[in-house]
């Protein structure tokens, strides 16, 4: 067993802290979102409870040296005394920057009640050379939806509409034990709530506070796998025929304690875009479900489209780990397989690697405070992704150790050249 652990440990690699910045007030598990750009200048948005929102990324100076750039964004219609609950964002186009940013807020009124809003910011700029200016412009263009419930998770996904085709909508988890769909009302130039049952029959009448949602489309968006985890311990995973809006299969589990997060993921990390043939389009993907139990061990269900919720692997956390707040699935050692990262209230990230049909706890990384959120994306524009960690006190940027990356690149290049030489020799 020791030899097996040592062999796997060599594959894990090293990530080093390259930047950190503090938050003026803490955020929460819904306070960070990606801003993915087609120009390679990805950023993240980080919100703190007391109204401050930051864009974080990297920028080249005149000497071509990359410097971290953290800038506070002044979003309109976030009044004094308001608290930011959740933030989410997406890019409308793959070839241009047209960001849409959603922010939910609550604010005490003069009458002693609580006002609740979803603010949606958007502005088409078409200027890839000045993405920071475009985000500042977006922050000044707001459409507001008044809410009758306290919002929790804000999540965006797509629907297939017969008249207008594909459309992005917002899903909000509310204190009224319901999920709500907010959709653009183009006729009235605003956003409004639409009934869920027409597009998401699997999300109707959950009757509990939803802590996380994950929606995965496949087969040219003809099939959808929807997973929700709830405060009461309910987990619901549903396979849906999108064209006929019909539930094909449904799995329901109930745990004794809150399930803080749920993720649909593939074991393999697809490093390049796949070119599908007509036969490949209808191929059933191999999808796993990660269930992050807040106070109990987390669980991975393997290949659920084939086996349902039957093949499970428990993720052992060790003796001193308490509440798990967040998760991230990413190929952080660049071997083509995804790893699982769990962020804990006890200031740690637990890193699991898949080896010989088992998930093994291979490493723990310590931070200054509870780990609220994580994401893995290329912030520096060099083609390698960085791990961004939001803690209760600040934001960390972790980068792959450059020497290890160079060694890995050289080994793979040598292997590729050797293989090419062998193929040429065989063809002579």
DSSP string across 173-235: EETTS-EEEEEEETTTTEEEEE-STTT-GGGTT--S-EEEEEEEEETTTTEEEEEEEETTSEE
What pLDDT is attached to residue 273?
A: 37
Three-class DSSP category at 318: coil
What pLDDT is attached to residue 125?
A: 41
Pick from 223, 262, 254: which is nearest to 240 by CA?
223
Which residue is it, tokens 């603010």?
A: 119
Cα(91)–Cα(99) distance, integer angstroms: 4
What pLDDT is attached to residue 421?
A: 80
What pLDDT is attached to residue 277?
A: 36
What pLDDT is attached to residue 13?
A: 64
What pLDDT is attached to residue 327?
A: 97
Count CA within 13 A, CB hemisphere, residue 178.
14
Helices (H), 32-189: 131-138
Three-class DSSP category at 132: helix
What pLDDT is attached to residue 6?
A: 41
Beta-carbon count within 10 A of 300 CB: 21
Per-residue confidence in pLDDT tens, the chain, 428 aa: 444 434 433 455 688 898 999 998 999 999 999 999 887 689 999 999 998 999 998 887 777 788 889 999 999 999 989 999 999 999 987 767 789 999 999 998 877 789 999 999 997 544 444 545 578 889 999 999 999 999 999 999 999 877 778 899 999 999 999 999 999 988 888 999 999 999 999 999 999 999 999 999 999 999 999 999 999 999 999 999 999 889 999 999 999 999 999 999 999 886 443 333 344 455 789 999 999 999 899 999 999 999 999 999 999 887 666 899 999 999 998 888 999 999 999 999 999 999 888 899 999 999 999 999 999 999 988 888 999 999 999 999 999 988 888 888 888 888 888 887 877 777 76
Contact in structure between 230 and 252 (CB atoms under 8 Å):
no
Question: What is the value of pTM for the model shown?
Answer: 0.89
Strand partners, 103: 87, 119
């Amino acid at each position: 067993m020791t030899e097996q652990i040592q062999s796997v440990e060599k594959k894990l690699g090293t990530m080093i802290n390259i930047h950190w910045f503090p938050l003026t007030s803490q955020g929460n598990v819904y306070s960070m979102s990606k801003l993915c750009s087609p120009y390679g200048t990805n950023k993240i948005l980080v919100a703190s409870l007391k109204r401050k929102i930051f864009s974080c990324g990297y920028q080249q100076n005149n000497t071509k040296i990359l410097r971290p750039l953290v800038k506070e964004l002044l979003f309109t219609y976030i009044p004094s005394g308001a608290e930011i609950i959740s933030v989410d964002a997406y890019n409308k186009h793959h070839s241009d920057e047209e960001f849409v940013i959603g922010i939910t807020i609550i604010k005490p009124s003069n009458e002693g009640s609580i006002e609740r809003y979803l603010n949606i910011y958007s502005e088409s700029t078409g200027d890839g050379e000045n993405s920071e200016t475009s985000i500042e412009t977006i922050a000044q263009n707001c459409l507001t939806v008044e809410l009758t419930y306290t919002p929790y998770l804000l999540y965006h996904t797509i629907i297939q509409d017969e008249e207008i085709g594909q459309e992005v909508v917002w899903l909000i988890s509310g204190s009224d034990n319901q999920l709500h769909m907010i959709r653009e009302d183009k006729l009235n130039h605003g956003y409004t709530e639409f009934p869920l049952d027409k597009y998401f029959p699997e999300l109707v009448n959950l009757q509990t506070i939803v802590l996380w949602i994950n929606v995965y489309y496949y087969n040219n968006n003809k099939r959808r796998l929807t997973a929700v985890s709830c405060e009461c311990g309910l987990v619901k995973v549903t396979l849906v025929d999108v064209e006929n809006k019909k539930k094909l299969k449904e799995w329901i589990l109930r745990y004794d304690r809150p399930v803080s997060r749920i993720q649909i993921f593939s074991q393999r990390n697809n490093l390049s875009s796949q070119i599908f043939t007509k036969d490949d389009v209808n191929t059933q993907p191999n999808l796993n479900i990660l269930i992050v139990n807040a106070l109990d061990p987390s669980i991975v269900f393997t290949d659920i489209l084939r086996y349902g919720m039957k093949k499970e692997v428990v993720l052992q956390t060790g003796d001193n780990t308490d509440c798990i707040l967040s998760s991230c699935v990413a190929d952080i050692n660049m071997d083509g397989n995804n790893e699982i990262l769990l962020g804990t209230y006890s200031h740690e990230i637990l890193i699991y690697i898949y080896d010989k049909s088992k998930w093994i706890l291979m490493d723990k990384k310590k931070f200054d405070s509870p780990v609220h959120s994580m994401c893995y994306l290329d912030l520096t524009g060099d083609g390698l992704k960085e791990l961004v960690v939001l803690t209760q006190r600040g934001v960390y940027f972790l980068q792959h150790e450059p020497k290890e990356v160079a060694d890995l690149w050289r080994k793979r290049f040598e292997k590729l050249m050797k293989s090419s030489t062998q193929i040429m020799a065989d063809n002579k």
